[in-house]
């Protein structure tokens, strides 16, 4: 009996040690040698490849849309995933319609690709010096090889150049061909609807174009179109376009509507547009969080910052829960800031936060939470970390079990705000 008691005690001690997330982070974060985007030596990324395994979707986050070293790290990871792991599609947090329909119609010559990317991916990335190699060289030059890297998008904000020039006309042709245009109460109502669509698309370029009186015509028209698509079991990409436009004009919790639409757009990409292809997703940490809807927080702040994000919506389908790897990004110190804004200092980590558990000698590192989660039955114990942005979540939000939100983390000790591509 004494032997049994001793054995049980030792087992409990071993389990408690094994479940210590601090010890796991300190001993299992592996160094990454470089962020050099031109490097073709991927030996230091072997742990990333092993963690990703056979996943079909890899989501790459960022704490702020101006994190220069993160952009470099993501570019290098994309190269590795493309050249070593068979990923052939790069999907951006940018215009779903322009980066699907527009890309399909594009002549895949280097100059035309460069021109298209500059106008149909948000300038926070295309204007960044840290993304220049990706947009100016790597993607265009891949089409001179037998292994091209296709580009797509999943954002429900449909107003970049291709959508601005073509969406209204293409939508009109689609609605007429499907007999949906005739379902509007009158030709005048239909034209008002199309004008409202164009006004919404043009608003970011020309404020005031989407006049207050257009909202009602747009809401009613989109509802009519959506109902007709549902009745017809439309499996094309147009229901996603309509749902994206609907999410864009939601008044209450618009960010939640956007995340839901982005998840649906991404599902269309991986099930229809690029069926069976492996897809890399470029987005913010805040959008890619998985199982954030299962965290125990409450209230509007928690809903806005943590719950119901694109990643959580996407992995509600067990197939994508199994085939998706979510890689968040974390940093220790430095500056951040998007193009066009003043750089700001990133918050100092909490003295008991994850960032302080990583060996101080490590400039860049990769941490895979998957073995920890599997071994200890997906621990729900919260711990502190600056995420999804460069600061701790605001006070109303309780601590989070970040090991369930991200499958892995890419750590950058010294962050720097990106600079403009001259």
* Rounded CA separation 127/135 (Å): 10
DSSP assignments along 378-402, one per residue: S----B----SSSSPPPTTSPPB-H
247-253 own/partner pairs: CB under 8 Å, 24+ apart? 247/156, 248/156, 248/157, 248/158, 248/200, 249/200, 249/215, 249/218, 249/219, 253/303, 253/304
Retrieve residue 420's tokens: 């403009």
Please name the residue that has the structure tokens 């060289």: 137
Q: Are 135 and 119 in contact (CB under 8 A)?
A: no
Per-residue pLDDT of the chain (422 residues; tens, 9 = 90+): 333 333 333 333 333 434 599 999 999 999 999 999 999 999 999 999 999 999 999 999 999 999 999 999 999 999 999 999 999 999 999 999 999 999 999 999 999 999 999 999 999 999 999 999 999 999 999 999 999 999 999 999 999 999 999 999 999 999 999 999 999 999 999 999 999 999 999 999 999 999 988 999 999 999 999 999 999 999 999 999 999 999 999 876 788 899 999 999 999 999 999 999 999 999 999 999 998 777 787 777 887 788 889 999 999 999 999 999 999 999 999 999 999 999 999 999 999 999 999 999 999 999 999 999 999 999 999 999 999 999 998 878 888 999 999 999 999 999 999 999 98
Retrieve residue 120's tokens: 């149909």
Report the half-sphere exposure of 235 (CA within 13 A, side-chain side).
Answer: 3
Would you state the pLDDT for residue 184?
98
* Rounded CA separation 133/136 (Å): 5
Q: Return the H-helix or E-strand segment holding 174.
A: helix 161-177
Predicted structure pTM score: 0.94
Rounded to an integer, what is the distance from CA 346 to the centroid of its chain? 21
């Amino acid at each position: 009996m004494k032997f049994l008691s001793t054995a049980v005690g030792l087992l409990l001690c071993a389990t408690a040690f094994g479940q210590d997330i601090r010890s796991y982070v300190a001993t299992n974060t592996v160094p990454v040698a470089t962020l050099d985007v031109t490097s073709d030596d991927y030996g230091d990324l072997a742990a990333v490849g092993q963690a990703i395994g056979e996943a079909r979707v890899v989501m790459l986050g960022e704490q702020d849309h101006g994190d220069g070293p993160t952009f470099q790290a993501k570019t290098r990871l994309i190269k590795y995933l493309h050249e070593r792991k068979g990923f052939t599609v790069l999907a951006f947090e940018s215009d779903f319609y322009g980066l699907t329909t527009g890309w399909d119609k594009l002549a895949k010559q280097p100059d035309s690709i460069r021109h298209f990317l500059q106008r149909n991916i948000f300038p926070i990335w295309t204007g960044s010096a840290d993304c220049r190699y990706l947009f100016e060289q790597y993607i265009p030059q891949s089409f001179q090889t037998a292994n091209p890297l296709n580009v797509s998008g999943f954002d429900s904000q449909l107003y970049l150049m291709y959508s601005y020039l073509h969406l209204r006309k293409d939508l009109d042709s689609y609605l007429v061909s499907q007999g949906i245009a005739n379902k509007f109460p009158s030709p005048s109502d239909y034209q008002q609807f199309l004008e409202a669509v164009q006004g919404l698309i043009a608003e970011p370029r020309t404020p005031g174009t989407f006049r207050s009186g257009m909202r009602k015509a747009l809401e009613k028209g989109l509802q009519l179109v959506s109902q007709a698509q549902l009745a017809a079991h439309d499996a094309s990409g147009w229901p996603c376009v309509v749902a994206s436009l609907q999410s864009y004009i939601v008044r209450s919790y618009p960010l939640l509507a956007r995340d839901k639409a982005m998840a649906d757009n991404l599902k269309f990409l991986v099930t229809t547009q690029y069926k069976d292809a492996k897809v890399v997703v470029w987005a913010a940490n805040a959008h890619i969080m998985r199982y954030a809807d299962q965290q125990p927080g409450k209230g509007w702040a928690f809903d806005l910052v943590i719950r119901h994000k694109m990643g959580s919506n996407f992995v509600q389908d067990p197939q994508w829960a199994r085939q998706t790897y979510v890689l968040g990004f974390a940093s220790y110190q430095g500056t951040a800031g998007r193009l066009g804004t003043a750089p700001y200092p990133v918050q100092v980590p909490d003295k008991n936060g994850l960032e302080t558990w990583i060996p101080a000698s490590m400039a860049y590192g990769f941490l895979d939470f998957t073995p920890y989660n599997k071994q200890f039955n997906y621990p729900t114990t919260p711990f502190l970390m600056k995420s999804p942005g460069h600061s701790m979540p605001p006070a109303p939000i309780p601590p989070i079990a970040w090991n369930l939100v991200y499958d892995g983390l890419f750590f950058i000790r010294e962050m720097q705000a990106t600079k403009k591509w001259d």
